Amino acid sequence: MGIMNLNLRRYYNQPIRYESLSQHVRAITEQWAKDNLYCPHCGRGLKQYKAGTPIYDFYCTHPNGSLVVLPIENFQLKSSQKYPFINKILGGDYKTTVASLKSHTHPSLILLGYERKRWKVENVDLVHKLSITLSCIEPRKKLSKTAVRHGWQGCNIVLDKIPAISFIEVVKDSNIIDKCTVMRRWKHLTNILSGNLAERGWLADMIKCIENLPGTFSLIDVYAYETKLASLHPKNKHVKDKIRQQLQKLRDRGVIKFIGNGEYKKIV
């Protein structure tokens, strides 16, 4: 993999033609991603799954010669002319998506924004899989009895319920972000959001709340989100206690700093 090339036009005249423009665009952007993107964990080029593989588009096995066996890193590509992306993007089967979150097999997202007149990649964001939790998965209505797949239920991924720090820029306004910067941010986010699904859900939801607060804030400011957090985690009956616990975790993980007298300061 050489220097990233943002030009998509070279993929336009592929030998395989598609019935719809959307199918053709998908083939073009997938080929671009395969040739230009890299795993943010180890820096190696991504490998592409066979066409038709559910949920996953790309993967990396981290062949770095280490004695530590690392899990496969999976990615799903979403591309659009509209950037930033609309608030909701289509997910897959709702039950399968929830199961993938619980089993830690849900892919990270590649959000690719392109300009079609020039066939150029303008923006690419990576959304870390650890930040995709139950709070941002929205079930859709089941298909009606008249539908071929009646009873099937899909879902949406609601992007504005994901913390802003989870969107790691790879290309910003046609400018390529330094690879080391991308990998450093990915590693830092991995450390921040490590844990099981329930733990990650609380951490991500707390970060999302804190992102709405000023640079320096108080415990009382965070308590203002008690009702919202209770609705996201209805099984927890001691939300204020949980808020204080999560603030300690976020302090230990380098997201905030405790400055005394119930006051905190953002670091990330």
CATH code for the domain of 250: 1.10.10.10
Q: How many domains does the chain have?
A: 2
Among 14-28, 133-147, 151-165, name the one with the lowest average pLDDT: 14-28
Within a domain: 45: yes
Mean pLDDT of the chain: 91
Question: With bands split at pLDDT 50, 70 and 90, how would you rate the model's confidence at 226?
Answer: very high
Which CATH number covers residue 135? 3.40.210.30
Positions of E strands within 25-83 = 47-48, 58-60, 73-80
Which of 177, 194, 211 finishes a domain?
A: 194
Residues 142 and 238 both lie in one domain: no
pLDDT for residue 68 is more than 60: no
Q: Please state the pTM of the whole predicted model.
A: 0.91
Q: What is the dihedral of CA 34, 39, 43, 48, to 10 degrees?
A: -30
Place of tokens 């981290």: 62
Q: Could you identify the residue written with the tokens 């590693």?
A: 187
Q: How confident is the model at residue 70 (pLDDT cuts 50, 70, 90)?
A: low
Question: Is 4 a domain residue?
Answer: no
pLDDT tens digits along 201-217: 999 999 999 999 999 99
Q: Is 21 a residue whose pLDDT tops 90? A: no
> Residues 14-33: what's their mean pLDDT?
80
Q: How confident is the model at residue 66 (pLDDT cuts 50, 70, 90)?
A: low
Structure tokens at 123: 């923006």
- Residue finishing a domain among 141, 171, 194: 194
Instruction: Let me know if residue 167 belongs to a domain.
Output: yes
- Claim to verify: residue 81 and residue 178 sit in the same structural domain: yes
* Predicted confidence (pLDDT) per residue in 89-135, tens digit: 999 899 999 999 999 899 999 999 999 888 999 999 999 999 999 99
Is residue 62 in a domain?
Answer: yes
Q: Which of 162, 194, 226 is the last residue of a domain?
A: 194
**Is residue 238 very low, low, confident or very high in pLDDT (cuts 50, 70, 90)?**
very high
Q: Find the domain containing 37 and state its range.
A: 9-194
**Same domain, yes or no: 46 and 169:** yes
One domain, residues 236 and 146? no
Could you give phi then psi for residue 102, rounded to 5 degrees?
A: -70, -30
Q: Does the residue 3 lie in any domain?
A: no
**Per-residue pLDDT, 89:** 93
d(CA 11, CA 164): 32
Are 110 and 30 in the same domain?
Answer: yes
Residue 1 covered by a domain: no
Q: Model confidence at 145, in pLDDT bands (50, 70, 90)? A: confident
Asked if pLDDT for residue 67 goes beyond 90, the answer is: no
